[in-house]
Amino acid sequence: MKKIISMILALAMVLALAGCAGTTVVVNNYNYYGTDSSEATEAPATTPIETEPVAAEGAVRTGLAIVTGLDTVDATAEEEGSADFAITLAGILVDENDVILDCSIDAIGHKFTFDTTGALTSDITADVLTKNELGDNYNMKTYGGAIAEWYEQVDAFEAYCIGKTIDEIQNGALTESGYAADADLATSATINLFDYVSALVTAHSNAQVLGAEAGDKLVLSCTTSQGDAAQGNAQLNVDAVALTVNEEGVITSCQIDALQGKATIDENGAVTGTNVDTKNTLGFDYGMVAWAGATYEWFEQAANFASYITGKTAAEVDGIAMTEATAPADADLATSVTISIYGFKSLIAKALG
């Protein structure tokens, strides 16, 4: 029933947004709630939320989510076209009773523009930074009059979630309009939180027993790049990881996913196709086995690499040998991971750097 209700909410949001002329809304998960377009509202001074360590019951699960929204507008003689990505990332640790032991949230907003020939006019060489990476430079306080920056408000929401069940967060943390229902939280987080609840719910649905224990530190990180304009695509690439480390700096669990978010643009500046599904979501439909003759599909190879590095430190992961083609040189790893691991190693190095 909860899934059906979430699907209805998501469909209503999609239909409402799709009513805008020339705009297509694509969402890769039924739990998607909307956008955080209203990011600053007046509120009293912030109140820090104190959290205590939570004692886990039963096995601890680690989960990762990449939830993507995409708005597209075709180019016209009067106005450039656009492909506007809104990506929310979440990592979560929960026990067997679905109590949240730790969580981490980040987000990426990135807009491509293009003309009536289908050529991209935005700078595809520019770095794409997450909102946490932008930090104070996200400028919610400077230009939006917010009481706190985005990362500070999300930190407060994360602290609020710890010790609560995922059901309590999904069904009681927010008002109908998507803002904090709790009076104390509302003094610290005035932004719309729908997207972030959605991402946590999705991360929870993806959570698995991978070796983490209560007290381990959860780390969420990602690397980003833009696609090649010559291919006729506005493409945003995001590799993400949720991992845990113990006090000795040893990786105790790891989950990896990747997005090749894409809007395909024809020679007239019209968007003819989109993709917002992650590689894990695509599963066998990603086609490495069917079309490239691979032994394992991408999601299997990513999970195999994640399993291989569990029990290792950051230095040991950095020391994993690669061939000239950046595939694994280690014979044991090479039996289950045949793709390049350069990106995986870079992702782990960033997460634990």
Q: What is the pLDDT of residue 229?
A: 61
Query: Does residue 43 register a pLDDT over 80?
Result: no
Query: Does residue 53 register a pLDDT over 50?
Result: yes
Tallying the residues shown for the chain, one arrives at 353
pLDDT digits (tens, 9 = 90+) for 113-159: 999 999 999 999 999 999 999 999 999 999 888 899 999 999 999 99
Place of tokens 């059901």: 167
Q: What is the pLDDT of residue 32?
A: 30
Contact of 54 with 164, CB cutoff 8 Å: no
Q: Indicate the pTM of the whole model.
A: 0.85
Q: Give the containing element (helix H, strand E) for 197.
A: helix 194-206
Q: What is the pLDDT of residue 55?
A: 61
Query: Does residue 228 register a pLDDT over 80?
Result: no
Distance CA 7, CA 5 (A): 5
Question: How big is the chain by its Cα radius of gyration, in Å?
Answer: 21
Give the Cβ contact number of residue 260 at 10 Å.
18
Query: Does residue 79 register a pLDDT over 60?
Result: yes
φ and ψ of 27, to 5 deg: -135, 140
Q: What is the pLDDT of residue 232?
A: 81
Q: What is the pLDDT of residue 54?
A: 66
Contact of 16 with 34, CB cutoff 8 Å: no
Can you read off the two tokens belonging to residue 153? 């408000």
In sequence order, which residues have a C-beta less than 8 Å from that of residue 147 and are 6 or more positions away? 42, 43, 44, 45, 46, 141, 188, 190
Contact of 147 with 43, CB cutoff 8 Å: yes
Average pLDDT over residues 88-94: 98
Give the Cβ contact number of residue 272 at 10 Å.
12
List Cα–Cα distances, 240 to 38, 68, 260, 300, 304, in angstroms.
26, 13, 12, 15, 15
Distance CA 338, CA 348 (A): 18
Q: What is the pLDDT of residue 227?
A: 84
Quick one: what percent of the chain has pLDDT higher than 90? 78
Query: Does residue 255 register a pLDDT over 80?
Result: yes
What's the order of all strands across the beta sheet hosting 233-245?
217-226, 233-245, 251-265, 271-275
Query: Does residue 18 register a pLDDT over 70?
Result: no
Place of tokens 């006090």: 247
Contact of 182 with 163, CB cutoff 8 Å: no
